[in-house]
Amino acid sequence: MRKLYAILAAVLLMSTATMAQAQQPQGQAQGQRGGGRGMMMLMEGITLSAEQQTKVDSIARKYAGERQAMMNDQNADRDAMRTKMREMMTKQQDDIKALLTDEQKKIFEKNLADMAARRPAGGGRPPRS
């Protein structure tokens, strides 16, 4: 159950971060943008154009709505929800990546690989000491 909450929290954090990041003025340093750490890490070193920011914001709203609807379903199977959340996170990343230039995609992929390398085995939070 803790893993489910951790996944849900990470997904919400990413969607909130995406929306906050997309609303920041162009040219502001990525590390100074508001939002969650996960999305900031994915977008580190990438400067979006105004058009890209608008599209990323739209994508974030779309997936945030879908995630909220899933979380509001009290009868949902938790394992199925976890799988669906992972699929949505991957789809959101793919949708954002489709907006990026080839150079931006290289940075995005590197950031994604770096995040995966830091993730503890099993995908959940590290155990408490």
Within a domain: 60: yes
pLDDT > 70? residue 117 = yes
Per-residue pLDDT band at 16 (split at 50, 70, 90): low
Within a domain: 126: no
Within a domain: 113: yes
pLDDT for the residue numbered 75: 82
Within a domain: 54: yes
Output b/e per residue, 13-49; b: 16+ Cβ within 10 A: ebbbbbbbbbebeeeeebeebebbebbbbbbbebebe
Within a domain: 22: yes
Within a domain: 125: no
pTM: 0.62
In the predicted model, what is the mean pLDDT of the chain?
75
What residues make up the domain containing 75? Answer: 2-118
The answer for residues whose C-beta is within 8 angstroms of residue 124's C-beta and 6 or more apart is 2, 3, 6, 7
Q: Give the H or E element holding residue 12.
A: helix 2-22
Total number of domains in the chain: 1
- The residue ranking higher by pLDDT, 42 or 105, is 105
Question: What amino acid is encoded at 123 in this protein?
Answer: G
Segment 86-96, tens digit of pLDDT: 999 899 899 99
Judge contact between 15 and 38, C-beta under 8 A.
no
Give the mean pLDDT of 72-87: 87
Within a domain: 124: no
Within a domain: 91: yes
